[in-house]
Amino acid sequence: MKKTIEVSPNQTFLVKGPAKIGIIKGEISILENTLGKEENIVITRGKALPIKAISETVLDIYMDNDDAIEPLEEQFPKEWASTTNLFENLEVPTLIPILGSVDSGKTSLTTFLANTAFKKGFKVAIVDEDVGQSSIGAPCFVSMGFMEKTVSMLSEVKLKGSYFVGSNTPSRLLHRTITGVAMMVKKALNNNAEMVLIDTSGWVYGRGARELKTSLILMLQPRILIALQRENEIEHLLVPFNKSSVNVVRLPAPKTYKRSRENRKFLREILYQKGLEGGQDITINLAQISLKYTLLGSGSKVKPEKLEEIKRILGCLPVYTEESADLLYIVLPNDEIKINKDITEYLENQLCKTEVYLTQKRDFESVLVAFQDKNNEPIGIGIIKKVDFEKREITFYTSTDKEKVKSVQFGLLKVSEDGEELGYTKIL
Ligand SMILES: Nc1ncnc2c1ncn2[C@@H]1O[C@H](COP(=O)(O)OP(=O)(O)OP(=O)(O)O)[C@@H](O)[C@H]1O
Ligand SMILES: [Mg+2]
């Protein structure tokens, strides 16, 4: 349905997606980005935008639900505006991580700061650490982009670099998340960024989250750190730094539009679909590529006597085995034996002094991967369809040009060809 609304200057409201806004008359501001007559903005399902009218404005709003428009008291807390003081006499380059719990407004504040700093003439880069609700790049990636214009949403920021973490949550992959942020910050600084805003994930509770956030702050060594809070829900993350010189700027969180788990999943899935669009099966021999974040392909053939011994102990013929200085790697047929600690330890004691790693053929199916070119730059995502252990070939579903693929980085998430999340696998 279409609704035409007239808004007076300073009137503020939220538009919830799915919706499209067309400006018929006047001007609006979204987090310091001004939009005028004949400009449009599309808001996807699960997203919402706080809008303020600058002048007498007429808007055409196309929406599914009658309650898509909601009046707001303020577009953002007034304290946010005072952050622009931080930009006066700023030593550049400056890194500013923005911390807060889920739906605390981190991405909105990042957008606001990015627009404000851009208008002041800073060369601004944004690093998106949130692998679950990515704004700049694809889900499961840490991404980076430079502000080339003011934006209403960070998805408008052009992607300049990204690093594949391999999961939609950092929880099992803290080290890859930190590596991604470090790489993206380095890339931003190498490209002369004066201000790097780091939009973080809302994972702030529990030991894993504390490890990640402490490590991130230590790695970044920022002079300024922004903590966005409704009350004092992330103070525990700030305590380890209360004797350091970092300037912790505490800001109030606005009342935000909460995204449901389903909507978060939906938003990720449309991005996997986009990444896999026009996909086809490509088969690559392991000799042609290097594999990262998998144990597969790093060793050599197991001697026949040892293979016999493995067969005897397990009571079945493995699909594949390989051995390296630190590991005996065994891929089993599906459901042939129950993999557990006892069987692994028994094999370790009987066969070798190294670790034994057991996995099943099925664990490879549907695993999300990222491809890199010869410069290690990401060139697309794909899904493992089949591993032919005999021929040492992997078949992927992807739209990436096979000729350009020089390296494949394995993830932990499984995704269908239709872009549906199917759960997790283990390190392969
Ligand atoms: N003043 C406001 N009132 C209501 N909703 C708002 C307001 N400002 C922003 N929002 C909306 O609330 C939602 C959550 O805000 P935002 O994405 O900035 O939070 P976040 O902390 O980054 O969330 P996440 O934890 O998912 O990364 C967004 O759709 C945003 O547009
Ligand atoms: Mg966010």
Read off the pLDDT of residues 5-47 as tens digits, 9 standing for 90 and up: 999 999 999 999 999 999 999 999 999 999 999 999 999 998 9
pLDDT the model gives residue 337: 85
For residue 292, the surrounding DSSP H or E stretch is strand 290-292
Rounded to an integer, what distance in angstroms lies between the CA atom of residue 69 and that of residue 367? Answer: 40
Domains of the chain by residue range: 2-71, 78-259, 277-428
47 Cα nearest atom in ligand 1: 29
Rounded to an integer, what distance in angstroms lies between the CA atom of residue 299 and that of residue 322? Answer: 5
| Spans in the chain with pLDDT lower than 50 | none
Distance 304 CA to ligand 1 centre (A): 60
Distance 16 CA to ligand 2 centre (A): 16
pTM of the model: 0.95
CATH number of 2-71: 2.60.120.10
Q: Which of 103, 104, 113 is the best mutation target for the ligand 1 pocket, counting ligand atoms within 8 Å of the beta carbon and taking the most?
A: 103
Q: Which ligand is nearest to the CA of 106?
A: 1
pLDDT the model gives residue 208: 97
Q: Are 279 and 384 in contact (CB under 8 A)?
A: no
pLDDT the model gives residue 6: 96
Beta-bridged to residue 97, according to DSSP, are: 198
Q: Which residues have CB under 6 Å of ligand 1?
A: 14, 47-50, 72, 75-76, 100, 102-108, 130, 133, 202, 254-257, 259
Q: Which ligand is nearest to the CA of 101?
A: 1
Classify each residue of 211-237 as buried b or exposed e, where b means 16 or more C-beta atoms within 10 Å of its C-beta: ebbeebbeebebebbbbbbbeebbeeb
Residues bordering ligand 2, an ion, CB closer than 5 Å: 106-107
pLDDT the model gives residue 340: 87
Q: What is the pLDDT of residues 52-87, one digit of tens each?
A: 999 999 999 999 988 899 999 999 999 999 998 899
For residue 421, the surrounding DSSP H or E stretch is strand 421-424
Distance 365 CA to ligand 1 centre (A): 35
228 Cα nearest atom in ligand 1: 21
pLDDT the model gives residue 228: 98
Q: Among 130, 124, 93, 94, which residue's Cα sits nearest to residue 111?
A: 124
Task: Give the number of other Cβ atoms within 10 Å of residue 127's Cβ.
Answer: 28
Q: Among 70, 66, 72, which residue's Cα sits nearest to residue 3?
A: 66
Q: What is the DSSP track for 251-283?
A: EEPP-PPPPPHHHHHHHHHHHHHHHHTT-EEEE
pLDDT the model gives residue 117: 97
Q: Are 136 and 154 in contact (CB under 8 A)?
A: yes
CATH number of 78-259: 3.40.50.300
Residue 67, judged by CB atoms within 10 A of its CB (0-12, 13-18, 19+), counts as exposed
Side chain identity at residue 216, one-letter code? L
Q: What is the DSSP track for 15-69?
A: EESSEEEEEEES-EEETTEEE-TT-EEEE-TT-EEEEEESSSEEEEEEESSGGGE
